[in-house]
């Protein structure tokens, strides 16, 4: 009996002496921006219950794309001390930095490039099937130095890459704009992708994953793009790119789709090809149409494949914090991870006050930060704080764990970090404050979350 009493006393003392719950709050009126906040006593009302023993996907990280426009702006629109400080803030957790651990590059130009180019451009009517003119020179100007700096700051940073178009000579249009890949150049395109991965590795930038084509069901009219139906993607991956990567002993993964939630039938059609399927490790998604639940719809058919969320952009079409902050939390940070995403990426890391540099495409997109090249000053946007609520606290290697309960308007997701710590993110999309209680192993506390607010708890 004495031994039992001593054990209970020690356990209670351990709970009493446990490190306090830390809370960080962002409000739609911008009066609190990832600001420390206090938790309270449990109270009557909805309860969010966390079960850290029920684990789901292992997290790779959160981040944003280093487009050519973003890299150029950071390198030419800021002084070196300004750039160094911003990169440290974005890619480490020093001093409350975001700690981005995932990024995406474009293979050649996107709409957020200052000119349209591929890595093997040829004059009209000429071809280069052996890729004798392949060159990473355009990427060496700004993108590679920017990624190298990010990797030096955070060696855990995972880098993926996507082409917006094959070189024009491989396509039906003989142009970077619109068109489809010609069957006779399927092999050349696969070699082009492999040359990119090999070249980037030699530059000190390992590419952990590729997608075959950004938004393969979209042919933009004023910037590089290429339509790739499921049968084409299956043929290129199954007969060319997959075998080539394997033959060269390369570990770079292939991710299918890289497009919106509204057409889950397309990745399922591609993955129905057993030859292609054996080379695919995951499915990548964008936010611009459909519902995030499509991620789970496909994952139910292919549970062995990883889920990735690879692109969404904020923009001046929705500048209101009280609308956009809860939407981003509900769909991107919370929704995409609850539907299996191992990594979550925003689009441009940085843009200028005129929403560029860009050439065609989106005219009012926002970056995670806005850099004014007149003086190098930085504005931290809605996206900065939305992603910061996850990236600052959820470590690479964390597992998503069960979180259930709450009430309508309270969206939430929980993670267990490699060090045993727990992170819970809660968003309130209601027009009124919501009070709730959190119940987790060894923890029980209450909190009142303002309307359209977001809070991250860590303990």
Each residue's pLDDT expressed in tens, for the chain with a length of 459 residues: 444 343 333 343 334 336 799 999 999 999 999 999 999 999 888 999 999 999 999 999 999 999 999 999 999 999 999 999 999 999 999 999 999 999 999 999 999 999 999 999 999 999 999 999 999 999 999 999 999 999 999 999 999 999 999 999 999 999 999 999 999 999 999 999 999 999 999 999 999 999 999 999 999 999 999 999 999 999 999 999 999 999 999 999 999 999 999 999 999 999 999 999 999 999 999 999 999 999 999 999 999 999 999 999 999 998 999 999 999 999 999 999 999 999 999 999 999 999 999 999 999 999 999 999 999 999 999 999 999 999 999 999 999 999 999 888 999 999 999 999 999 999 999 999 999 999 999 999 999 999 999 999 999
Copy the structure tokens of residue 173. 């249009």
Write the DSSP symbol of residue 104: E
Domains contained in the chain, CATH given: 19-56+402-458 (2.60.40.1180), 60-393 (3.20.20.80)
Q: CA-CA distance, 191 to 128, in Å (whole number)?
A: 12
Closest CA to 366 of 338, 328, 398, 395: 328
**Radius of gyration in angstroms for the set of CA atoms belonging to the chain, rounded to a whole number:** 23
Instruction: Match 């996206």 to its residue by tokens.
Output: 383
| Angle, helices 80-91/143-153, rounded to nearest 10 degrees | 60
Q: Is 407 helix (H, G, I), strand (E, B) or coil?
A: coil
The 22-26 sheet, strands edge to edge: 35-37, 22-26, 454-458, 422-428, 410-416, 399-405, 47-58, 434-440, 443-449
């Amino acid at each position: 009996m004495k031994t039992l009493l001593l054990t209970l006393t020690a356990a209670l003392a351990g709970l009493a002496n446990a490190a306090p719950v830390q809370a960080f709050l962002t409000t739609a009126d911008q009066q609190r921006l990832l600001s420390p906040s206090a938790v309270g006593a449990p109270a009557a009302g909805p309860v969010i219950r966390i079960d850290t023993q029920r684990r789901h996907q292992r997290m790779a990280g959160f981040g944003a794309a280093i487009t050519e426009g973003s890299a150029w702006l950071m390198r030419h629109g800021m002084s070196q001390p300004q750039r160094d400080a911003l990169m440290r803030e974005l890619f480490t957790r020093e001093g409350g930095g975001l700690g981005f651990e995932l990024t995406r590059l474009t293979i050649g130009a996107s709409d957020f490039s200052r000119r349209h180019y591929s890595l093997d451009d040829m004059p009209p009517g000429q071809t280069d099937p052996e890729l004798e003119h392949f060159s990473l020179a355009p990427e060496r100007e700004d993108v590679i130095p920017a990624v190298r700096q990010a990797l030096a700051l955070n060696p855990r940073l995972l880098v993926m890459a996507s082409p917006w178009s094959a070189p024009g000579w491989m396509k039906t249009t003989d142009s970077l704009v619109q068109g489809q890949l010609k069957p006779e150049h399927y092999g050349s395109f696969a070699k082009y992708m492999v040359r990119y991965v090999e070249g980037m590795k030699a530059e000190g930038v390992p590419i952990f994953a590729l997608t075959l084509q950004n938004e393969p069901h979209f042919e933009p009219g004023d910037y590089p793009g290429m339509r790739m139906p499921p049968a084409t993607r299956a043929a290129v991956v199954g007969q060319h790119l997959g075998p080539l990567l394997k033959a060269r002993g390369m570990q770079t993964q292939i991710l299918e789709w890289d497009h919106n939630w509204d057409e889950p039938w397309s990745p399922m059609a591609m993955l129905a090809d057993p030859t292609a399927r054996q080379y695919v490790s995951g499915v990548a998604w964008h936010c611009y149409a459909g519902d995030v639940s499509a991620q789970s719809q496909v994952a139910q058919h292919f549970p062995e494949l990883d889920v990735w969320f690879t692109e969404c952009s904020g923009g001046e079409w929705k500048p209101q914090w009280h609308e956009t902050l809860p939407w981003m939390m509900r769909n991107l940070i919370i929704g995409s991870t609850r539907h299996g995403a191992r990594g979550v990426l925003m689009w441009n890391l940085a843009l200028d006050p005129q929403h560029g540099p860009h050439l065609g495409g989106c005219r009012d997109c926002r970056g995670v930060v806005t850099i004014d090249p007149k003086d190098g000053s930085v504005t931290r946007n809605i996206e900065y704080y939305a992603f910061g609520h996850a990236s600052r606290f959820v470590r690479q290697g964390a597992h998503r764990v069960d979180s259930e309960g709450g009430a309508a308007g309270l969206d939430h997701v929980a993670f267990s970090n490699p060090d045993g710590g727990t992170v819970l993110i809660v968003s309130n999309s209601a027009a009124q404050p919501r009070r709730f209680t959190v119940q987790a192993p060894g923890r029980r506390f209450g909190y009142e979350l303002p309307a359209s607010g977001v809070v991250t708890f860590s303990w």
